[in-house]
Structure 1
Amino acid sequence: MRRLRMLAVLPLLASTLAACGSGEGSGRPTLNWYNFPDDSGALQKAADRCSQASRGRYKISYNKLPRGADGQRQQLVRRLAAHDNTLDILGLDVTWAAEFAEARWIREWTGAAKQQATQGTLRVPLQTSTWKNKLYAVPYNTNTQLLWYRKDLVPTPPKTWAEMLSMARNLARQGKPHYVEIQGAQYEGLTVWFNTLINSAGGSILNPTATKPSLGAPAVRAATIMRNLARSVAADPSLSNQMEDQNRLAMESGSAAFELNYPFVYPSMKANNPALFKNFRWALYPRVDASRPARPTIGGINLAVSAYTRHPQLAFEAALCLRNRENQLTAALMGGLPPTLRGLYDEPPFIKAYPFAKDVLTSLQSASVRPLTPAYQNVSIAVSHTLSPPSAIKPVSSVRTIRDQIDAALQSKGVIP
């Protein structure tokens, strides 16, 4: 009899534990936030703050996606395609909004939520959250590259690519460090380099409606600059295999004079090479033409609400909380993630941690975005595969190849990886 009573209790106990685990049984739903893995603790801090600020209305559970962008996208795509209703708030790379919106995996931001999401937010990051003139995500953080250089080698930073290559050649003749560190491996960073140069030259990869490749003379100009660097003394011998972190390490080793990279290199140089840090300076990204500003390509993460969440209104509310002023400032100070709220660039704590805040803001205000299209993965692959290695670029024929491959992708003749 005792054994029978225990067996009768087990199903009830199991159902009670399941309710507690999901947060549903207590009436306090758990909102699952999926985002990149953050080692600084800033994202967990934001989740805890917003859970407390909800006054018992919801709890945010921060779930870490794989470290690489491809792995992050793959996990989200698989689960959304299966209509997984345990996904609530999604941290999307700035290139994914169009694809996810077209697939109807994320909800449009409207009404008061949209007004709050856009108020005070930088214009260019908002472009990465928009598809067909509708807002599908709210910018959480952003990023942009600056020119980093050694003041002991270069008293005045170059303003154009031509000036920088000329300075590198002069340093080489003197037997001094002279490399220009940039991302030349066959991956997304190579596409970003090309996109930055083509936009800085007055062009774009796609036309305004994202229905056809644009390219043209600005693209040939961009490809020529990439090839010229790769074949010059300014090129690191490892250029065709280098990504952001290899660039950072090369600069810290003292072998380079210039580096095109994100602000994470500043605290790293300070910690890893204090002697060289004394001469580590920054400037705006070099121009293609002296007459027009450079338009570096932005990065970052946007927060979207899943189409399959069981708590859409709470998810919108929580997403706005996660990217509010306090949490964006924390992410900037703890995690090195530049904010998307314009007002934070005037905050003393941010300026103290980012002495280059003014140049980051200037860069963001004139920045470019990667092509906004559901077929972006194909576009990026067409660019990075055709332009790798940079030393083998044939500007006219390489651009023609990119144009043909992108045109096929936009006509759905290729499969998004």
Structure 2
Amino acid sequence: MERVQQVAARRQRVDRPRRSGTHSARVLPALALLAVLLGACGTGGSGPPTLNWYNFPDDSGALAGAATNCTRASGGRYRIAYHKLPRTADGQRQQLVRRLAAQDDTVDIMGLDVTWPAEFAEAQWILPWTGEMRRRATEDTLEVPLETATWRGRLYAVPYNTNTQLLWYRSDLVPRPPRTWAEMLDAARELARQGKPHYVEVQGAQYEGLTVWFNTLVASAGGSVLNTTATAPSLGPPAVRAASIMRELAVSPAADPSLSNQMEDQNRLAMESGSAAFELNYPFVYPAMKADNPGLFAHFRWAPYPAVDPDRPARPTIGGIDLAIGAYSRHRRLAFEAALCLRNRQNQMTAALRGGLPPTLRSLYADPALVEDYPFASEVLASLERASIRPKTPAYQNVSIAISHTLSPPSDIDPLPDVRSISRQIEDALQSKGLIP
């Protein structure tokens, strides 16, 4: 677009005549050409406006299909263009931040990681959902995913999908799934003593997954990373307990030798290879095991995420994507309407069945079409209803880095000093000391 304007401007400068009579004759065609070129750069010319939807790259076709479905359902009032963001969460956030900081009015709908709404809302880059739009956005929507989209009491996005971890295990090695971390580590030690596969696969690399592991354990122990107003760290005995469990696993026979480098997909591959007995991971591992190792799939089972205490259920940290409307959009009303369409029953069902992304609409978990492909649907729903969320703050990136860097590698964790260090770093982050990544 900018290049077209520059070319047209240069054409006018080069063609500028010395006599006024010739000036008019030559400038009019140039202006006509400029109008045609600018029209070609617009959002559809005389046709319906184009709503630009920026979201994670989806190889299943579910997102592209949703854009097509909603374009058709609009009855010609708008069309949705799905733009793929980079594959990594950091790359996605970076591109959106750059566009919004420049007040890009072509950003209409955004798929935000559940950790971003607070940051984007505080920067006034996204619009709140109010009135009838808010009512429709919250109807039949699970409460915990809605919490990720809320900041200072206002709803700033609508949950598109969600995610939660379960305990996956081999029934040929473990006839009854462990209920707590202590039971699971004891079972792993006994399997190791017998010379059987015994690893507990979990995300131990120095990245967001390590923060999620710690946050889940802290919440499961009855604590939280931040206080209720997100103004100060709230780390205490539950955090020390969480760090102690992480270290206990890391120095036990249950630890995969690659623990400090492992992410979700490496966990999946290790389980599929037959070297592990347990895996803490998202539901995408189920269809993957079915396709990659049918023999082992016959013994692949699921159970609730293990608890820290036997009398307190675990509170896994959820993931997912929330749809937000750009504050500089030229088509705000249509963008709100389109976002609701993108996350309707049909499109959430398709995303679940094709992409393995758990829906945020409660009623879908009783739909036979979902249960057929998601035999663990009831466990996912139960997990989502008692789930925890990541620390909700505009400074989340710094908070996450403080946690993942301090606790890496897990085998070197010194629980009490490390928790104190994390607390100091979070205090600095909340006071905007240091650089925001």
TM class, shorter-chain normalised?
A: over 0.9
CA deviation after TM superposition for structure 1 residue 22, in Å: 2.5
Alignment of 1:320-399 (within 5 A): 320-399=340-419
Residue equivalent to 2:39: 19
Tell whether 2:232 aligns with 1:212. yes
Superposition map of 1:187-198 within 5 A: 187-198=207-218
Query: Whole-Å Cα distance in 2 between the matches of residues 125 and 112 of structure 1?
Result: 19
* Higher Rg of the two aligned structures: 2
Residue 183 of structure 1 corresponds to 203
- SS of 2:327's equivalent in the other structure is coil
Cα 1:14–1:278, aligned 2, differ >3 Å: closer, same or farther? Answer: farther
Partner of 2:422: 402
Unpaired segments ≥5 residues, structure 1: none
Rounded to whole Å, the distance in 1 between the matches of 2:26 and 2:189 is 82
User: What residue is the counterpart of 1:411 in the other structure?
Assistant: 431
Q: Distance in 2 between matches of 1:281 and 1:27?
A: 52
**How far apart are residue 26 of structure 1 and its match?**
1.3
Amino acid at match of 2:286: Y
Deviation at 1:307, TM superposition (A): 0.3
- Counterpart CA distance in 2 for 1:409 and 1:148 is 36
Q: How far apart, CA to CA, are the structure 2 residues paired with 1:163 and 1:6?
A: 84
The AA in structure 2 aligned to 1:158 is P
1:393 to partner: Cα distance: 0.3
Query: Per the alignment, do residues 334 and 11 of structure 1 end up closer, same or farther by CA in structure 2, a change over 3 Å counting?
Result: farther
Q: Residues of 2 paired with 1:39 and 1:140: CA distance?
A: 17
Q: Does 1:32 align with 2:75?
A: no
1:275 alignment partner in structure 2: 295
Count residues with an aligned counterpart.
Answer: 414
Secondary structure of 2:133's counterpart equals helix
Superposition deviation, residue 17 in structure 1: 5.2
Aligned equivalents of 1:17, 1:338: Cα separation in 2: 44
Shift of 1:6: 11
SS in 1 for 2:105: coil
* Aligned match of 1:221: 241
- Per the TM alignment, residue 412 of structure 1 is displaced from its structure 2 partner at its CA by 1.0
Retained in 2: the 8 A contact 1:108–1:136? yes
Task: Within 5 Å, give how 1:68-147 maps onto structure 2.
Answer: 68-147=88-167
| Residues in 2 aligned to 1:270 and 1:20: alpha-carbon distance in whole angstroms | 48
Shift of 1:232: 0.1
Q: Tell me the SS of whatever aligns to 2:278.
A: strand
> Shift in Å at residue 20 of structure 1?
4.5
Whole-Å Cα distance in 1 between the matches of residues 312 and 376 of structure 2? 21
Who is 1:59 aligned against?
79
C-alpha displacement at 1:312, in angstroms?
0.5
2:265 aligned with 1:245, yes or no?
yes
Give the superposition deviation at 1:27.
Answer: 4.2
Aligned partner of 1:399: which letter?
V
Q: Provide the rounded CA distance (Å) in 2 between the counterparts of 1:338 and 1:213.
A: 31
Partner of 2:222: 202
One-letter identity of the residue aligned with 2:244: T
Paired with 1:105 and 1:8, the residues of 2 have a C-alpha distance of 40
Unaligned 5+ segments in structure 2 are 1-21
- Tell me if structure 2 keeps the 8 A contact 1:20–1:26: no
Letter aligned with residue 258 of structure 2 = S
The DSSP-based 3-state class of the residue aligned with 1:234 is: coil
Q: CA–CA distance in 1 between the matches of 2:116 and 2:175?
A: 41
Residue identity opposite 2:274 in structure 1: G
Equivalence for 1:315: 335
Question: Which of residues 224, 237, 255 in structure 1 aligns to 2:275?
Answer: 255
2:10 aligns with none
SS at match of 1:12: helix
TM-score by length of structure 1 reads 0.97
| Amino acid in the other structure paired with 2:247 | R
Distance 2:355 2:170 in 1: 25
The match for 1:173 among 186, 193, 201 is: 193
Q: Is this contact kept in 2: 1:200–1:296, CA < 8 A? A: yes
Give the match's secondary structure for 1:22. Answer: coil
Q: Distance in 2 between matches of 1:239 and 1:52?
A: 47
CA distance in structure 2 between the aligned counterparts of 1:132 and 1:184, rounded to whole angstroms: 32
Q: What TM-score do the two structures reach when normalised by structure 2?
A: 0.93
Partners of 1:58 and 1:19 lie apart in 2 by: 17
**1:416 Cα deviation (Å)?**
1.4
Percent identity over the alignment is 72
- Moved runs in structure 1, 4+ residues, more than 6 A? 4-8
Deviation, 1:8, is 6.8
In 2: Cα distance, 1:210 partner to 1:32 partner: 33
- Residues of 2 paired with 1:58 and 1:288: CA distance? 50
The answer to whether the 8 A contact 1:378-1:414 is kept is no
What's the CA shift for 1:182?
0.2
Once residues 121 and 198 of structure 1 are traced to their aligned partners in structure 2, the CA distance between those partners, rounded to angstroms, is 26
CA–CA separation in structure 2 for the residues paired with 1:189 and 1:224: 17
Q: Which moved more, 1:295-304 or 1:9-18?
A: 9-18
Which amino acid in structure 2 is aligned with residue 228 of structure 1?
E
